[in-house]
Structure 1
Amino acid sequence: MPSDRRLTRRNVIKIATAGGAVTLSGCLGGNGGGNGNGGGNGNGGGNGNGGGNGNGGGNGNGGGASGPSGTLGDWSLDVNAPDPVLDRINGEDWVPPEYDDGEVASEIERMNLGGMENDPATGWYEDLFQEKTGITSTPVTVPSSDAVSQMRTLLSSQSESPALMQISQEFFMDFLTEGWLEPVDELWPEEAYETFPPYFQSAMTTDVDRSLDGDHTYMSTAISEAHGLNYNPTVLEELGFPADFYDGATWADVREVCEEATSASGDYHGWVWYGSGNRYPIYPWLRQMWSRGGSVVQDDGSVKFNTDAGVATLEWQSQMIADGLLPDVMQYGEGGPADLFLGGNLAGFGGGLGIMALALEEWGEDTDQYDAALLPRGENGEHVSYMNTDFLAINRFAPPAKKRAGMIYMDGGRSAIASAQEYDQEGNYPSNTAAWDHELLADANFKETAREIGETARVELWPNQIETFDVLVTHLQEAWLGQLSAQEALDSAQSDIDEIMGQ
């Protein structure tokens, strides 16, 4: 059986146009592509003994029929054998799909963001994967802060290794537009999506890959984070509210708690959000904007931030600050609200559920100072959460046998047991909702609320997403500081974003 490496803790897309660890620097340099055995020449295809010929598919001496997975060549993979796909991946144990061992590499390298000492669940799955398949997965470790630039260097040079990449969803579309990732349509028959968040199908099946025709899917899951409402029932009671007042709350309810906290004796706060940093300030605005029925990606494919829902959300935020109902949000970056919450005087905040383990460690499993709920409802009565996933994807330029091995790894990585281990060992949100029914999570805290949070998760993706986020953060902060009105701030942001998107 796999070794126990546990540590205590650690929609429709609308587009406008991996033995021991090694360092990524060991994979840089050399051709990585070119003409020759297993190489590639062109937009994700190849011209040689093991590639294809053309844009991501084609015919070659080791290739196969052209099409979505042409660079994999013809090979036998049956995701519905020995059992139907959902039975295979969602049972108490993962059962690999049927494939020909002779067509698959015996080892692959897989990019891992950060050292494996921080990823016990990933280590557990690597052991399971080797036990079940005989394939060795070697983690190629790279600091998270360097990952995107390193991956761009590798893939733009058509390096063959690592075969498996770990890519944040907010960069994913940029990698797809370059034709750098291999389609994995065989992994995802229609029924396979049934136990995953809706956006896995609606947002991640796309025609944005310029090297291929039609819609394709390219991913499996590495880790996920879901945002819910973390709240302190004791603080709510001390402020005169029912202990569960934030369960099913509206944004008007949040303001009411903030007003009471401001007037009460003691250093209480009703709410806070991420106000500093280069990405996290986006999330509170996005979540509330969605709860008002808004969208960033419009029906015509354009990316718009200065919509009515966007402006109304920023007006609400700015007014809360102007009325003195919040602590200085500009002080609080990625971990700031969690630190304030653990101080015991914050009624609640919207953010990742990873705070749960810290709160239970701080106050005990039977504490009255922590509970979780869905994020506040908007005017249309809708609770909307946010989910951020690091996806596993295959390097288009890896040798076909390694890409095939990577697909088998991706199949098990999305299994209920792997998702359950991520939550149990590391507090990462289970991307496969069948994990909540796994015996490993039978006694998990707040499991029903956590399941609901995943079911209300919304994600929108577009090319150049991080670049547009960088622009938006600056203008959100201008409004929070009172330098611009909400309308002025978002109009100014939109002008910059139109230029970035060429719209």
Structure 2
Amino acid sequence: MMWKIVCWIWVVLGIAVVAVGSDKVPAWQLINWDGPVSAAERLSADEYVLPEGWEEAVAGVTEIVYFNSGALRHDPATVVNIERFEALTGIKVRAIEVSSLILFDKTLSVLVSRDLSIHGMSLTDAPLELSQVIGAGWAAPLPFWTPEVQNIYPKALVDAMRGADGRVYATCDTMRVYVLFYRPSWLKAAGVEKVPETWQEVREAALKCREWAVKNLGPDYWGIVFPGKYNLAHMLQAGIYSQGARVLVDGKPVWNSPEGRNSWQLWYDFIATDKSAPEACLGYTWNDYQEVFAKGKAAMMLGFSTYIVRCSNPELAPGIQTDVFGNPVEGGDFAVVAPPKWDVNHPESHRAAFIDFDGFIVNPFADDKHQAAVMLFAEFRMSKEACRNEVLVEGNDAFFPGVYDDPEVLGKIRFPEALRLSAQNAVMEAFPPGSKHSIDILVEYFGKAVTGQMDAQDALDAAQKEIDEIYW
């Protein structure tokens, strides 16, 4: 009997605590996000304007803590934006550097345990992870996403951050479009008469570049490189989107559609049939293959726009500061164009690839003042000022499209037309829970095909069968 009485006491106390707590206005509601001017105007200004009421909302907060995807030494724009936010608010930002390989696992650990000490998190694979986090109630809805604000950002990205209730639960940490990198001197030396505009032309050019390189540079120089690990999915998507198709069918991933089969065969052929790409691609992560290109070991790659800045830097990309004959080239011996379309029969709008972005969420279990402070940080990072830093300092793409109307930005970035076309045609599909595992399955069977353990198309069908079991 005594334990029942104790239990009832705890229940009554719990109800009382909830009742008392429910009368408190959350700190972020003390902020007038549409003051002193509308949120859209504040975000669009050349210099970010803090909203009205922010000081009262975050009173007593001296530091916010968040998980950053990877090391800050690779995120110079993030460092600049952190310093700017600290100067604006007086709030210190502590970024905990977490490898992208374990970031989502650590994030889930914090959220499942309702840890109060981590106030915000980056999501490296936001298109795959956001649906899981939002659906579980593990991200705070962000009040600054007014309808007016939503209208000035890319609709596809905003929709990818939206919950079933219509509210938006994330911002864009960083974003990158894919472009086709190539070495002009290498293509010319190999007898490639024009820059490839279709994937069929890329395949032909890669084979010519490989054959020329074996004779003139050595056996470890390749026509094309790409990732055969996790980001293999992005390569497959590029091939599918270039045919005007999509991966998701009724909300579920279908990789062995006719267009998916074509794309799978293309990337398989680069290694197994043409030998224009190394089998080592099977072990390449998202940055490994791009570093191979930066070292001058490949003629082409479908790579992140971020690498335009990296490849232009003699210290970071010493292997491409000369042409293939050893002659210095100012700015580097490379150029980029928008992703290829599938073949000449497809329209220019099919020069499309996946748009990769890292999301940023606020921990809903943190206390309300720290949530309000992290919301301010998240909003600042999606402003024109912060996005301009992403473009100019790091070479990322701007989540805020108005950055590209800034003459200062246009005067400083390279290949603006290729970037514009790639961003314009880029495709965003928000994948359902379980998609990370489905990509692991794709990677496994792609490796089996390339190494001769299975027929290429049989391997794809086997992979799709296992993927279907996740969703059906």
TM-score (norm 2): 0.82
1:133 matched to 2:89? The reply is: yes
Displacement of 1:138: 3.0
Residue 384 of structure 2 is matched in structure 1 by 416
- Give the one of 290, 293, 313 matched to 2:244: 293
Displacement of 1:320: 4.0
1:172 matched to 2:122? The reply is: no
- Give the one of 388, 395, 401 matched to 1:433: 401
Residue 443 of structure 1 is matched in structure 2 by 412
Structure 1: runs of 5 or more not aligned: 1-34, 51-59, 64-71, 208-213
Change (3 A) 1:425 1:292: same
Change (3 A) 1:117 1:261: closer
SS in 2 for 1:376: coil
Residue 191 of structure 1 is matched in structure 2 by 148
**Aligned AA for 1:458?**
V
Q: Deviations over 1:244-269 (max 9, x none)?
A: 613xx011211221343355443464
1:480 matched to 2:450? The reply is: yes
Change (3 A) 1:115 1:254: closer
Residue 370 of structure 1 is matched in structure 2 by 334
1:83-162 alignment runs, 5 A limit: 83-99=37-53, 101-105=55-59, 106-107=61-62, 108-162=64-118
Displacement of 1:443: 1.5
1:198-209 alignment runs, 5 A limit: 198-207=155-164
- Take 2:368 and 2:236, find their aligned partners in 1: how far apart are those partners? 43
- Take 2:67 and 2:427, find their aligned partners in 1: how far apart are those partners? 27
- Take 2:334 and 2:107, find their aligned partners in 1: how far apart are those partners? 39
Displacement of 1:368: 6.2
1:215 matched to 2:155? The reply is: no
Displacement of 1:339: 3.7
**Aligned AA for 1:272?**
V
SS in 2 for 1:205: coil
| Contact 1:96–1:411 (Cα < 8 Å) also in 2 | no
SS in 1 for 2:399: coil
| Contact 1:230–1:353 (Cα < 8 Å) also in 2 | no
Displacement of 1:397: 0.8
SS in 1 for 2:68: strand
**Aligned AA for 2:227?**
Y
Q: Deviations over 1:180-230 (max 9, x none)?
A: 11111x3223332445333212322231xxxxxx22211112222322111
Residue 293 of structure 2 is matched in structure 1 by 341
Change (3 A) 1:110 1:273: closer
- Take 1:418 and 1:237, find their aligned partners in 2: how far apart are those partners? 40
**Aligned AA for 2:450?**
W
1:359 matched to 2:311? The reply is: yes
Residue 364 of structure 2 is matched in structure 1 by 396
SS in 1 for 2:342: coil
Residue 23 of structure 2 is matched in structure 1 by 61
**Aligned AA for 1:218?**
Y
Change (3 A) 1:480 1:196: farther
**Aligned AA for 1:500?**
I
1:272 matched to 2:220? The reply is: no
| Contact 1:251–1:377 (Cα < 8 Å) also in 2 | yes
Q: Deviations over 1:270-299 (max 9, x none)?
A: 333222x3x12222112111212222221x
Change (3 A) 1:456 1:195: farther
Change (3 A) 1:320 1:422: closer
| Contact 1:167–1:390 (Cα < 8 Å) also in 2 | yes
Residue 31 of structure 1 is matched in structure 2 by none
**Aligned AA for 1:256?**
E
| Contact 1:77–1:100 (Cα < 8 Å) also in 2 | yes
- Give the one of 299, 302, 313 matched to 1:350: 302
Identity of aligned residues (%): 23
Residue 256 of structure 1 is matched in structure 2 by 204
- Give the one of 317, 323, 335 matched to 2:267: 317
- Take 1:260 and 1:412, find their aligned partners in 2: how far apart are those partners? 48
SS in 1 for 2:253: coil
Residue 47 of structure 1 is matched in structure 2 by 18
**Aligned AA for 1:120?**
P
